[in-house]
Amino acid sequence: AGPSRVSVTYPHLPEPTVPPTKPDLNALAKTDPTTYARLCFAAESFAAERAPAVLQPADAVSIVYPLIGVSDVERLAVVALSARNRVIDAEVLTVGSHGYTVVDPRQILRWALTRKRPVAGIVVAHNHPSGDPTPSSQDNDVTRRLRRACEVVGITLVDHVVVTADVRVWSRVDA
């Protein structure tokens, strides 16, 4: 059996007959900010429940590969995760050259800490245009530094993956 669904009803809210338009929501925000806030919270919660989860390296790769996989220069992407490892956001943070990209733990954590929703964990990923997913000594050093920095601010470094254009993958979790 799958996860149980919880149905939440708000008896004081009228049942909509047609989907509200943007001007209707703007008017609601001005006339009834409490109801507007509840609707926004419900919409965000609904979307969060349906976001993909990162439970293994393959899940992370499916999120980051479209962002960084096929590139002739190194790119670094970060995936922000909720406490249930559901994706909150994913973004390419740096673009480098054929052999390296700048990885600054401060930049990664600043990005994670400024998401709209609380971030419990992150996955860091970068590509190797060379086609060899084996991490360099710099990759290993950055992973150690980033893990320590994450611990200081209470964010879990869930994984650091290296991908290639032909979808060969190295994962810190698998190492």
Measured distance CA(119)–CA(108) in Å, rounded: 12
Kindly report the average pLDDT of the chain as a whole number.
Answer: 81
pLDDT band at 6 (very low <50, low <70, confident <90, very high): very low
Q: Would you call 151 helix, strand, or coil by DSSP?
A: helix
pLDDT(92) > 90:
yes
pLDDT: which is higher, 117 or 38: 117
The answer to whether residues 81 and 120 touch, using CB atoms and an 8 Å cutoff, is yes
What angle, rounded to 10 degrees, do the helices at 22-31 and 33-50 form?
130
Calpha distance 14→140 (Å, rounded): 56
Of 7-16, 45-54, 97-106, 127-136, where does mean pLDDT reach its minimum? 7-16
Backbone φ and ψ of 114, nearest 5°: -105, 15
